[in-house]
Amino acid sequence: MRLVLLGAPGAGKGTQAVILSEKYNIPHISTGDIFRSNIKNNTELGKKAKEYIDKGLLVPDELTIDIVKDRINKPDCSDGFILDGFPRTIFQAQELDKILEGMGIELDCVLNIDVSDEKIIKRLSGRRVCQCGKTYHILNNPPKKEGICDSCNGELFQREDDREETVIQRLETCHKQTEPLIEYYEKSGKLVTVEGRESIDDTTKEVLDALNGV
């Protein structure tokens, strides 16, 4: 299964990607996670990416596309992959098409998770994350022990770009630069849209139903 997850910030891409990655046994590739790990390790890429991420803007295409190209060429992607947060611009989508064509493969599905802006602001203010990649929500998906990750016992923290002003800018960036991808993938016949539900489990059911039809 070669899958792209589309959706606004906080739509639940990462949450569903982790579940799908286990179910289909294919890697979950999040450009946001790759940037954040580079920021943490203070790499050149991390320093550049941070300037944009902290403002709620997109990291420039030229810093983003090669990372994905290298990653999907790794052997663990031979049976498929889940791209979470990439592509995010029409240019990135066109470049992805070229990369896949060069590899002699194509996407099976582009799954768009649709959630309203009001819900997103609530979700992101309650999100807590762990270094291991697990994501929680203080109300919707709390850890067993407050502030501590269920899987690795790590301390949970809030993402810097989850401050309300930054969330509002991220939503605006998404409306302007990423939403045109819905039409792009509609035209290619690969788009499936599911409504992000109030609960994670209900959303997973919708997602699995949608993917069964692919």
- To the nearest whole angstrom, how small is the minimum distance from the Cβ of residue 21 to ligand AP5? 13
| Of the residues 2, 3, 6, 9, which one makes contact with ligand AP5 according to CB under 6 A | 9
| Of the residues 3, 64, 191, 211, which one makes contact with ligand AP5 according to CB under 6 A | 64
- To the nearest whole angstrom, how small is the minimum distance from the Cβ of residue 173 to ligand AP5? 7
Q: Does 169 bind ligand AP5 (CB under 6 A)?
A: no
Q: Does 143 bind Zn ion (CB under 5 A)?
A: no
**What DSSP string runs through 122-179?**
HHHHTEEE-TTS-EEETTTB--SBTTB-TTT-PBPB--GGGSHHHHHHHHHHIIIIIT
For the record, the structure tokens of 93 come out as 């989508």
Residue whose entry in the numeric block shows the structure tokens 């983003």: 64
For the record, the structure tokens of 82 come out as 């889940």
Contacts by 86-90 with C-beta closer than 8 Å and gap 24+?
86/4, 86/29, 86/31, 87/4, 87/181, 88/31, 88/58, 88/64, 88/177, 88/178, 88/181, 89/58, 89/61, 89/177, 89/178, 89/181, 90/180, 90/181, 90/184
* Binding-site partner at residue 167 among Mg ion, Zn ion, ligand AP5, none, CB < 5 to 8 Å by type: none
- To the nearest whole angstrom, how small is the minimum distance from the Cβ of residue 180 to ligand AP5? 14
Side chain identity at 70, as an amino acid letter? D
The piece of 7-15, 70-78, 119-127, 192-200 that touches Mg ion (CB under 5 A) is: 7-15
| Of the residues 48, 71, 163, 197, which one makes contact with ligand AP5 according to CB under 6 A | 197
- To the nearest whole angstrom, how small is the minimum distance from the Cβ of residue 12 to ligand AP5? 3
- Catalytic positions are 13, 88, 127, 159, 170
Please give the residue ranges that form the binding site for ligand AP5 (CB under 6 A). 7, 9-15, 30-32, 35, 52-53, 57-59, 64, 85-86, 88, 92, 123, 126-127, 135-137, 140-141, 161, 170, 196-200, 203
